[in-house]
Amino acid sequence: MPSKNTMNGFAVFMYEIKERRRLNMSGQQLATFCSPLWANLSAGEKKQYDMRAKEMKAQKKATDGDMARRDNVGNIIGTRKNPEEERRKRRQTDQELVTRDWPGKDLMDEKFYFVNFQDMCELSEPDNNTDREWLPREVAIVEYTMRRGIIRIYHAFIDPGPIPKGFRFTCMQKSDAEHKIPIEDFELASNNYPLIWRKMKELLRDGMKDGQDADYEKIKYLMDWMWCRSDDGDLSDNPAGHVCALEDLVVNLLAYSNQPNTETISNASVVSRLDGSHWDYISNTSCEWHEDQETKYCALGIVRRYAFTISDILSQVYPINLTERHVPIRSSTEEVARVLPPESMPTVSNQQRMRGKTRAKEKPGSAGDMRRVSG
């Protein structure tokens, strides 16, 4: 995969050099001319060309329709063995990196970072043959330990630049159905990527290895998206190198607790708890802007709810003294759920993850799978 991406980025680079220097060369001559220049670029610069190549590909796909798609899929099938298998392995490796130094350690003070991005839209076809790509709109990170609960937060709206041709309608639909953030002229969004990235890194620096979310592929991709627009450091600089899926983290933490019965808890039951609506209607969870919107799709609200759910699950097996930094203190009036319009229901991608579970079935206060199994 890296060599293929490099070739794509290299092609963009060659074209740029050719235009800038007004070179009149054959393809082979141009490649020979550009090779040493390319070799001199930093990893971050190369990555930037790779990302531009991907974006151009997505645009081409949108404008050319079927023809380009056939080409694209054909190429990829031709060069890759089994992308699904590759993804599974990558995820397994990341999980191992995160848990590597756990044995013998008191995990109560281990720092974890829960990350969520709300996106404008997905640029790739959601099939198994391509690397998936998104345009970011909002990011939130919470720093969390089991002992202290939520320690610090970071939140920002992102201006990802012009919407690629052919994606405007998808972006509008997604905004209406989920996060409600205007797709253009949103004064709270910033395109100062180096600043956003620096703030993200400041928060992530202490841990540098654990950003977690159930949307594993998306986090990995968008952390790279921010990184390659902001830094020209080497690849190991990117904390996204150690993103671990949230459900994997929870299952591992339960296993490490050495409490009886925890080994029977499946990823699926953890996912269903994380996707549950238990904390959806608690006030002061979303960012200030989203607090006035009738939607639960706020990046900050989502990472905070992850912290609540995880505290709730892990307090069954770890000596966590639950405070309001772990779970919200709710008044009895807040338990009366606000009624959301039907558009706020999850769209296709989320429904897949939820495996058809109906949100309405889960009542506030229901114990869920985990508590029964471990308690």
Q: Which residues are at the interface with Zn ion (CB under 5 A)?
A: 287, 290, 298
Q: Are 271 and 214 in contact, with CB atoms under 8 Å apart?
A: yes
Pairing mode, strands 243-245 and 211-213: parallel
Least distance in angstroms from the C-beta of 302 to Zn ion: 9
How far apart, in Å, are the Cα atoms of 237 and each of 69, 242, 244, 246? 34, 11, 17, 22
Q: Which is nearer to Zn ion, 53 or 298 (CB)?
A: 298
Least distance in angstroms from the C-beta of 162 to Zn ion: 23
Least distance in angstroms from the C-beta of 155 to Zn ion: 7
Q: Which is nearer to Zn ion, 277 or 285 (CB)?
A: 285
Q: Which is nearer to Zn ion, 61 or 180 (CB)?
A: 180
Q: Which is nearer to Zn ion, 214 or 314 (CB)?
A: 214
Q: Which is nearer to Zn ion, 226 or 287 (CB)?
A: 287
Closest CA to 142 of 286, 252, 276: 286
- Hey, how many other C-beta atoms are within 10 angstroms of the C-beta on 202? 11
Whole-number Å distance between alpha carbons of 50 and 9:
4
Q: Which is nearer to Zn ion, 290 or 326 (CB)?
A: 290
Q: Which is nearer to Zn ion, 120 or 298 (CB)?
A: 298
Q: Which helix (H) or strand (E) holds 98?
A: helix 83-99
Q: Which is nearer to Zn ion, 246 or 298 (CB)?
A: 298
Q: What are the E-state strand segments in the chain?
A: 112-122, 134-145, 149-158, 189-190, 211-213, 243-245
- Hey, how many other C-beta atoms are within 10 angstroms of the C-beta on 167? 19
How far apart, in Å, are the Cα atoms of 73 and each of 56, 67, 165, 202, 307? 15, 10, 20, 39, 39
β-sheet with 211-213: strand ranges across: 189-190, 149-158, 134-145, 112-122, 211-213, 243-245
CA dihedral (350, 324, 267, 83) positive or negative: positive
